Structure 1
């Protein structure tokens, strides 16, 4: 079975209230992350027709602050599918409801895994790529995945041979004092 990205696309909007703000008066990043996790779950579950869990989040950059009183909209779509995993791309925008001005606040990729009632992984439907943008997103997800695997292997190797890399630390604000 295959589905298009449009079949599972989700969009939610929520007005930002003072109770969502941090001490600086901006919307707390943790609150936005929680909303993003919810929309990723909804999108992945809609695609897979299964309960889904968050396996990882690939890089979150907060590009612009979100103000109290702004309308935040999150747009999510399945960008990639594996056997039981999915990459859900999320774009976060805020809108000043008085002026209509919108700003891109954040984009991120949530890796979700479909599971059954016992927590076992289940196979998800494949993805039908209907346009160049969906193909580009799928390819970028593969590149990010391959890069993450390589980075993980490189870091694992580094832990085995940390002595080989100590010289690199001379340019950093660190003092080595092994006992």
Structure 2
């Protein structure tokens, strides 16, 4: 095996934590910001484990909170590198919560964090090439490529859109907006 390559499954990591009242928001549910903080920590650990380098968060794809997490539930986060670029990695994260009294498990959310490997001077550094060993890893790799492509296309559309054009201003009424310029 080439030393510049690494099995992608070596990045797998999971953490579990009991949700305490101090983690809750005003409605008594676990605060989404706290879960995001845990997700960022596991993304860092996963990417650093794979790359052998210090990693920083470059972006976070959509985070949809699918079901609320209650105080007293055990939250488990599972992460794995899904895609590897030159110095970046896409880390897939799945969050589940479990009522430890009933055993009921809920999928709370999933997201994708793009992490970038850095050297000691803060410069980006190349990471090992991925070795894919299962068809699930192949699917996740291609899913990441599709998300990256869609994100680039969205940015191109956003950068070329002229919100001041007559057409754009006229179209606001389709959305119930009232323009008073």
What range is the shorter-chain TM-score in?
A: over 0.9
In 1, the alpha carbon distance for the partners of 2:178 and 2:164 equals: 19
Q: Which residue of 2 aligns with 1:85?
A: 88
Q: Which residue of 1 aligns with 2:68?
A: 65
Residue 157 (structure 1) aligned to one of 150, 156, 160: 160
Q: Which residue of 1 aligns with 2:11?
A: 8
Q: Which residue of 2 aligns with 1:39?
A: 42
TM-score by length of 1: 0.96
Q: Does 1:100 align with 2:103?
A: yes
Comparing 160-169 with 128-137, greater Cα deviation is found at 160-169
Comparing 1-10 with 83-92, greater Cα deviation is found at 1-10
Deviation at residue 117 of structure 1 after TM alignment: 1.7
- Per-residue CA deviations over 1:56-81 (Å, capped at 9, x if unaligned) read 00100000000000000000000000
Q: Which residue of 2 aligns with 1:22?
A: 25
Q: Which segments of 5 or more consecutive residues in structure 1 lack a partner in the other structure?
A: none
Q: Which segments of 5 or more consecutive residues in structure 2 lack a partner in the other structure?
A: none
Comparing 87-96 with 155-164, greater Cα deviation is found at 155-164
Decide whether the 8 Å contact of 2:163 with 2:169 is kept in 1. no
Deviation at residue 156 of structure 1 after TM alignment: 0.6
Q: Does 1:55 align with 2:58?
A: yes
SS at match of 1:159: coil
- Per-residue CA deviations over 1:93-147 (Å, capped at 9, x if unaligned) read 0001011110100000000000112210000011111111100000000000000
In 1, the alpha carbon distance for the partners of 2:93 and 2:177 equals: 37
